[in-house]
Each structure stands twice: as C-alpha cells, then as structure tokens.
Structure 1
Amino acid sequence: MRCLVTGATGYLGGRLAPRLLADGHTVRCLARKAGRLRDVPWAARAEIVEGDLRKPETLPGAFEGVEVAYYLVHSLGQAGFETADREAANNFAAAAQAAGVRRIIYLGGPEPKAAGELPSAHLRSRAEVGRILLGSGVPTAVLRAAVIIGSGSASFEMLRHLTERLPGMVTPRWVRNRIQPIAVRDVLRYLIGCVDLPPEVNRSFDIAGPDVLTFQDMMQRYARVAGLPRRIILPVRALTPALSSYWVGMITPVPNSIARPLVESLVHEAVAREHDIARYVPDPPGGLTGFDEAVALALAKVRDAEVETRWSTASGPEAPAEPLPSDPKWSGGTAYTDLRERTVRAPTAALWRVIEGVGGEHGWYSFPLAWSLRGWLDRLVGGVGLRRGRRDPHRLRVGEALDFWRVEEIVPGELLRLRAEMRLPGRAWLEMRAEPAEDGRSRYLQRAVFLPHGLAGHLYWKSVAPFHAVVFGGMARNIARGAEHTVPHPT
C-alpha cells in the first residue's frame, strides 16, 4: 500500500512510519518542514514532502496516488487548538476525498461514558476531528485510546516523574477514576492492521489494554515495577484540574499548556465499551500487553537510552520559527551577540563529543543553579522549562527538543545550532562549533544571538548581559576542559 503519514515528526507518527516500511508499504510523510525528518534513521527509505494541513493549497501533491492516509496530528498545547484542529481535519478530509484515497486511519481519544457528561476541550476536539473524518466520504477507522504507555509518551512521562519524584503526595480526586491504558506497541499494531480493513468499515473502535486501573493504581504499580517503595497518596477535593495541571507542570517535564488538557481528560473515566477491533485485527497469540509489562518495556528503553521518539519532538511554539537569519539587519538593525572562542588541547572529535552531549543529564557545563533558575522561571510563565531533557544522551537529531531549546541544525563533527523555546521578548539561538587547529588541537567557537522584540526585548538583554561572563564564559571554558580530559596530552 502507498501510505501517507501526517505527524511523522511526532511521537506516534515517528514510530509508525518505519514499521510501515518494514512491512513492505510505501511511505510518504507530510511535514511542514522536511528538514525536521532529515536525521531520522528511516528517512532515506521514505518520501518526505512539505505541506501544511492548515494550507489546503499545499496538499494535493502530498495525497496524489495515496491509498491509505494516517491522521496523527493535533495542536495540543497551542492557544485555540480546537479551531486549528477543526480546520486541519476539514482540509485533510477534502484532500483525501479529492485524491481518491481508499482509507483514512485516525487515532483519537476516549469519549466520556456518563450520560450528559461534558467532555474536556481536548476530548471534545478529538471527537470532533473523528466526526469530520468519518463524514469525509472516505472509509475511515477512528481508533479511540486513553492513556498510552510507552517510553517518551507524554502520559508515561507524567506518570513516571510524579511517581519517582514524590514518595508522598496530595492528589485530586480524579486519581480514583478508572482508566484502561494501552501499550504503545499495541497502538502501533492496530494502526498498521487497519490498513487491511474492508472498504465498508467506516466507524470508531475503542482500543485498550487488558487492565482497568485508576491513576492511583497506575502510580502504585509503576512504583512496584520500578523497584520503588509504595507511594503515599491522599486524594482531596480541593485540587481542581487547573490547579492539578500547574502541579503536574512543576513536577514533570510536561509543560502546563500540555498538562492541562491531559489532566482535564483524566477527569473522565476512560474504559473501553467494546473490543470490536479484534474482528479485523485479532489479538496477538500472547494477548495484549498488560500494564506492568508495558511499564517494564518503557523503563528498559529509557534506561538503555533507546527512546525512538518523544512527546516533546512535536511540541513547540504555535508557528515554527524561521531559522537564524545570516544578516543581523533582518531584525530591524539590532542583533545582540555573545561570542566566545577557546583553543582546545584535543582533536575536534573529542570536542564534538562534548558539544553533542550538552543538556539533559549532562547539564550545560556552567553555573547549574542559573540554568535551573531560568528553567523554573520559564515554567512559572507557562513555558516548557528545563526538564524536557533529551531523547538520547549521546546523539542529537534536527528537530528534537533539548531542554528549553530545539535542535535547528546539526553538522556532525562541526556545528550544533539550538533555537530557544523558552518564553522570551524576542528570539534566541545558541551555536557551538568545533574547528581543527594546528598541532592536533581544535578550536571551540560559541555564539549566542538574540533578536529583540520591542523595548522589552532590549531591556531583557541588557538585564541579563552582566551574567553572560559567568554563564556563557563558564560554558565555553568547561566544554574545552571536558574535551581535554577525554584525551591524554603533555603536561
């Protein structure tokens, strides 16, 4: 089958595309910026096309010749995400119908079970997208999943960090609501299996794992699988979804903008009402993956640094920022820069290993308290903060999130350019370069660039400039030292 995957830069799309290729399907991926998929291991085997579901004029070429189209995008975490998702779904449906697509496959969320229960904005939007696609005139399968358990998923990261960091906690009462989580491997199995659905099938399916639990149960069972003591959990009435989302945002890597709709979704019970999907995609011989096994598999991936994709890869500013302009005049005549350069008594390969290892558990090589404080301040104003970490401790890809930065460009062995995603009155980049020098040495070049927006931007730069010698200067010095310590050299 010729398959179109939207959302291939995201958590599930980035895992689905290589599995479709492995099954012998032809895969075309639609991305707003093709470069975001440049460094994924399977990029050479897929066709990458640029397009935007909110710009219908960019879609006909992407849908041409497609037999199966996957809708795996959402605007969660952005202001006005319901409107954005409605527009994108309508454009996707129209393009699929015009191109003669044979099957649409969409992963949505659960529907509230209680009669008259008002869904959260997140669930309401997911359900609306499903209705739009089902009414497109193209046979559609809507898969409705609740919490997805897998390394790197937002739901798993919330669960993992809450349980590991808080041996005791006061929680909202919704932690006692029933949920039927599903392992990411089973979600992917269903997404691939729906390729072969009969053409007359045009409906929604509940997909879920074998265990019905409360979120409280999930935390206790996670603790057991992870080898942690039993957690003390005290549910109270006072914590509203809004307050809970701020609490989740402070404890976990998931920012408030994403935590809030996820938390609001957990207020509703999410237990599968049917298992009709098994008529078309039978359960595997050993049965669906249980919760404990799903957690163990996810933890093994995290600990072995084998996380394929993460929730943070797809999340970012509402509109993708333009790359760093080469001409400072682009900013209206002002571009603030901080330049650092050091000669390193080590070859470029050693220096590059230190550069590419920046962030996450390795930190930023200078004044950890200052970086931590900046991350907390960003969290307080609704930003992503410093806790997103990194997918792999040693290797980076274009488009990946790296703490409160995004990898904008990487030239292995030479250049790493990061674009800031913290809340700022302007736009900021950080560049790190490794260049060869004489006598087997290398040269480290570091450049921070800030393009201010209005008076607030100018005042911001001037207020933080006095600290640059400590933060950026210390960073350059310690990166050089880190490279030198990895190789022997004359004293």
Structure 2
Amino acid sequence: MARIAVAGATGYIGGRLIPLLLEAGHEVRVLSRNLTKLRDVPWRDQVTAVEGSIQDFETARELCHGTELVYYLVHSMSGGAEADFERVERLCAMNLGQAAREAGVQRLVYLSGLHPHGKLSRHLASRTEVGSILMASGTPTVVLQAGLVIGSGSASFEMVRHLTDVLPVMPAPKWVMNKIQPIAIRDALHYLVGATSLPSGLNRTFDIGGPEVLRYADMMRSYAQAAGFRPPTIIPLPVLTPWLAGQWVNLVTPVPRSLAIPLVESLQHSCVTSEKDIAAFIPDPVGGLTPYKRSVELALHKIETDAVETTWATAHALSAPAEPLPSDPDWAGLTVFTDERKKTTKVPAHQVWAVVEGIGGENGYYSLPFAWTVRGWMDKLAGGVGLIRGRRSPNSLQLNDTVDWWRVETLERGHLLLLRAEMIVPGRAWLEFEVTDLGEGQGSEFRQRAIFFPRGLWGRLYWLAVLPFHGAIFKNMASRITDAAGLRGGAQ
C-alpha cells in the first residue's frame, strides 16, 4: 500500500477519489484551501489534512513530504478576459513539480481534459500546459485526459441537467452539434485508482472516455429520456458567441458564471479520444465502461428513489460516486425549493409534539382551512386523492400511515415527522415537522419545513404560482401549532 497525497480534496473528483483510496488500504494526506469544507465528509478522521494553496511552495513541500504518489486535481476556472488564471495554474504546476522532485515522489497523476490538436480555449490550453509542466518536472507523471464527467455535482452534468429541465425549446450555439465523448464518474475514478499500479517511470498522457461518441444535443435529449422528460427541441443559432452563451447558461442554470463561460468556451471543440492506450495498462471496469444513459440514471439515483434527507447537513457514506457529497458546491444537485419556519416557545416539547402528531384529518392544518379545502378539491378533480382519506387515528401515527394527501415517510416519535405528498403536483413534495426540547423549564423549539423538488419547467412555475399563498399558510401554521400546544397544556 502506498503513501498518497491528494491536492484538491474538496473538489468534485477529489471528494470521491479519497474514500476509494482509503478502502484500498492507502495512507492518504489531503490538501484543501479551507479544511472546514471537510467537516461533514465521512472520511475526515481517516486522513491527514494540510490547509493551504499550492501557490505557496512551502505548502506544496509539506504536501509532498514522505509521499510516494501525488494526485493533482486542482483546476482554476475563471471567467472574464482579465482573469489571470493561466498564471496561477502555471505557478501551481511549477511549485508541485519542484516539491515532488525534491521529496522523491515516485509519480504524479493529473486529471486534464480531452482536446483536439490546434487552437484551444483558454481553459483547455491552460490545462494542457499544466500537464506539460508536470511531465517535464523530473517526476514521472501520468496525465489522464478525460471527456465531460457525468455525475451529480459535476459542472458538466449540472449544465446538461438544468438546461434540459428548464427549457423544452432551447436556442443554442452551433457547438451543440460538436462531437464529445462523456465519461461516467465511476469510470473516471476507475482509471484514477488504477494509476496507483502503473509501471514506474511512465511519463505520458492517456485519453480516457466513455464507450460512446455523442453530440452535445444528443446528450441533452438522452438526459431528458432518462429523467422522464420530453426531449427538448434544440435550435442551433450561429449568432451566439461563447461569451453570450456563457451568460445564457449562467442565467438559466445555477452554474456560476465563473464556471459557465470556460465550460462553454471548451465546448467549441469536438473532444473525442485519439488513442486507447490506457487499456494496455488499466483494464476496463468489470462489465465494461458505462454507457451515457446509464451514467445519467446513476446520477439521478437519489431523485428516482423519492429520497429526501431529513437534514441537509447529514453526512453519509459514499454509496455511489455519482451521488451528491456534502463537499460538493452549493449550486450542484437537484433544484429544491423550501419554506422553513421556526418558533421558540415556553410550551414543553411533549405538548407541541401532541399537536404535530394529530395534524390533518378532522384536526386540520391550523391555517386557512378554506385554502386547504380548495386545494384538496382541485387535486380530486385532477384525479388525485384530495383530502378525503383522513387519518387512521385522530391522535397517533404509524410509519406509512396516510394523512389526507400525505403519507408518513419518517417518524421519530416526540421529535420528527416527515410527510410525503401524494397529491398531483409537478414534482415531489414533503412537509417536515421537528420538535426539540430546550431543557428543563426552557420550553421547546418548533421547526416546520415545506420541501419541493420541481419537475421541469412546470414544476418551477407551479412553485412560483403558489409562493404567495405559502407565505400566509405556512407562517400561520407554525404560529397556531405552538399556540394550540399552549392551549392544550392549559386545558390539562
């Protein structure tokens, strides 16, 4: 087993690679600009952490000291003509190369991007230059040149996801007809982990890509099919410059402009593998490389299983590399809308919980009953269940009970109730109640949260349409539930 360092531990690739290296028995040291980003990752206590930037040579030296292999997974993506990211990338590569040589590191592994010959975008040209600097550093270097990486949280995938979710008709730049070779995150990680066993002295680039060559437009259509949407109508427009297209992506999707512009600029090129030499050193994964549609289905796994985490900060083991991680950026993942209310009350937690567990049915929802009735009839007329199912018991609940158009999905009696909506709605919805005891004589805190995962454009429009009503309904609900709990105590 090897002593391994990873620069870029909080990045998309690094956060998924590290647990695989640990599972293989390697000793791992990680580098991050901000170690607080590692707080919730499940492997935090299994690694040695270094805080800092490769721009600082002493930090690079500390990272490389005593290690046999270093993964360099740092990319500086900046938008705007004045951004000097090329100089920063060049400096970091030179620092790492020198530090690795002085420390006697046996191999560097760098993840770059697939690119054609000839003139490249600034972003691709910079990544290519970094690979050349590392290979000339005196430390044997393997540069894996990957296509668009497909997995939840990958900037490339998020751009496809949100463009396709929101736009049934899509005016797009002519580069949507360029050929590209996407790769599933699990396959990219397969090659990265396999790099630990490559022959010593190997110093070269390898192209890695998935089993299919597609056009970007085909990727969006295939994503739509996997996600259950009607494939979008894509209209290539020659007038959209890369800069304008980047602004458009930034407007329509949550991908920030600093990422959208270099991504769009890179897509001007057809990027497919020109050689498959990697197969002679690292065999394909068992079962073969992952087809694009399957890689999308894996990335959508958490959506397809109707899962919603009861607390967004919950850290869990990495069950699949295509799923989200706590260290992923804020803009990554499925669009989610929430309405959250909190009330601190002197009423004991058990009294508040009694009201929560009795919600719905004849007890109602403690806010604008006429509005709830109207929404129930609308759902019934549309073919849904409406509010007529009621409850099994007026005062107590069991897991999987029905409560009008809700179903009990999570129940921690005395503390947490999560209801999943079974009404007809363009998306998936939950209503969550949490009661926390603040201590002897201190009362309790009541938290109420409505959660909505919109489905496509209609889901987003639906949320915007009901937003004014939510402001009144959910605010009143939180206040009246705690008021009702106080009255219940007084009646006793």
Query: Considering the TM-score relative to the shorter chain, is it more than 0.5?
Result: yes
Aligned partners of 1:10 and 1:310 also within 8 Å: no
Report which stretch shifted further, 171-180 or 69-78. 69-78
Shift of 1:213: 0.3
Report which stretch shifted further, 28-37 or 85-94. 28-37
Find the aligned partners of 1:310 and 1:486 in 2 and give their Cα distance: 37
Find the aligned partners of 2:70 and 2:185 in 1 and give their Cα distance: 20
Q: Any idea what SS the aligned residue of 1:490 has?
A: helix
Find the aligned partners of 1:103 and 1:268 in 2 and give their Cα distance: 30
Q: Counterparts of 1:181-192 in structure 2 under 5 Å?
A: 181-192=182-193
Tell me what 2:270 maps to.
269
- TM-score, normalisation: structure 1: 0.66
Tell me what 1:436 maps to.
438
Q: Any idea what SS the aligned residue of 1:211 has?
A: coil
Q: Any idea what SS the aligned residue of 1:104 has?
A: strand
Aligned partners of 1:10 and 1:309 also within 8 Å: no
Find the aligned partners of 2:444 and 2:103 in 1 and give their Cα distance: 54
Tell me what 1:308 maps to.
324
Aligned partners of 1:146 and 1:181 also within 8 Å: yes
Aligned AA (2:488): P
Shift of 1:314: 8.9
Aligned partners of 2:190 and 2:285 also within 8 Å: no
Shift of 1:68: 0.6
Tell me what 2:160 maps to.
159
> How well do the aligned residues superpose, as a CA RMSD in angstroms?
3.5
Shift of 1:341: 8.6
Aligned partners of 1:169 and 1:234 also within 8 Å: yes
Tell me what 1:242 maps to.
243
Aligned AA (2:86): E
1:110 counterpart (114, 117, 127)? 114
Aligned partners of 2:180 and 2:271 also within 8 Å: yes
Aligned AA (2:38): L
Aligned partners of 2:206 and 2:277 also within 8 Å: yes
Aligned partners of 2:345 and 2:482 also within 8 Å: no
Find the aligned partners of 1:99 and 1:483 in 2 and give their Cα distance: 64
Aligned partners of 1:182 and 1:208 also within 8 Å: yes
Find the aligned partners of 2:44 and 2:113 in 1 and give their Cα distance: 29
Q: Deviations over 1:100-143 (max 9, x none)?
A: 00010000012224xx4x21111011101101111111110000
Tell me what 2:420 maps to.
none
Find the aligned partners of 2:330 and 2:28 in 1 and give their Cα distance: 19
Q: Does structure 1 residue 82 correspond to structure 2 residue 122? A: no
Tell me what 1:229 maps to.
230
Structure 1 residues 437 and 245, CA, compared in 2 at 3 Å: closer, same or farther? same
Tell me what 1:67 maps to.
68
Shift of 1:226: 1.4
Tell me what 2:133 maps to.
132
Structure 1 residues 175 and 484, CA, compared in 2 at 3 Å: closer, same or farther? farther
Shift of 1:164: 1.3
Find the aligned partners of 1:291 and 1:215 in 2 and give their Cα distance: 12
Find the aligned partners of 1:197 and 1:344 in 2 and give their Cα distance: 64
Structure 1 residues 92 and 185, CA, compared in 2 at 3 Å: closer, same or farther? same
User: How many residues are matched?
Assistant: 359
Find the aligned partners of 2:88 and 2:481 in 1 and give their Cα distance: 46
Aligned partners of 1:249 and 1:255 also within 8 Å: yes
Q: Deviations over 1:141-165 (max 9, x none)?
A: 0000121111111111110111111
Tell me what 2:173 maps to.
172
Structure 1 residues 310 and 215, CA, compared in 2 at 3 Å: closer, same or farther? farther
Shift of 1:85: 1.2
Structure 2 spans left out of the alignment, 5+ residues: 308-318, 333-341, 354-414, 416-435, 448-467
Aligned partners of 1:197 and 1:280 also within 8 Å: yes
Tell me what 1:52 maps to.
53
Aligned AA (2:138): G
Aligned AA (1:55): D
Tell me what 1:251 maps to.
252
Shift of 1:20: 0.3
Q: Does structure 1 residue 92 correspond to structure 2 residue 108? A: no
Shift of 1:489: 8.3
Q: Does structure 1 residue 285 correspond to structure 2 residue 268? A: no
Aligned AA (1:274): E
Aligned partners of 2:343 and 2:478 also within 8 Å: no
Structure 1 residues 342 and 440, CA, compared in 2 at 3 Å: closer, same or farther? closer
Structure 1 residues 138 and 346, CA, compared in 2 at 3 Å: closer, same or farther? farther
- TM-score, normalisation: structure 2: 0.66
Find the aligned partners of 1:135 and 1:315 in 2 and give their Cα distance: 36
Q: Does structure 1 residue 18 correspond to structure 2 residue 34? A: no
Q: Any idea what SS the aligned residue of 2:12 has?
A: coil
Q: Any idea what SS the aligned residue of 2:5 has?
A: strand
Shift of 1:254: 0.2
Tell me what 1:490 maps to.
488
Q: Any idea what SS the aligned residue of 1:30 has?
A: strand
Structure 1 residues 485 and 143, CA, compared in 2 at 3 Å: closer, same or farther? farther
Structure 1 residues 314 and 139, CA, compared in 2 at 3 Å: closer, same or farther? farther
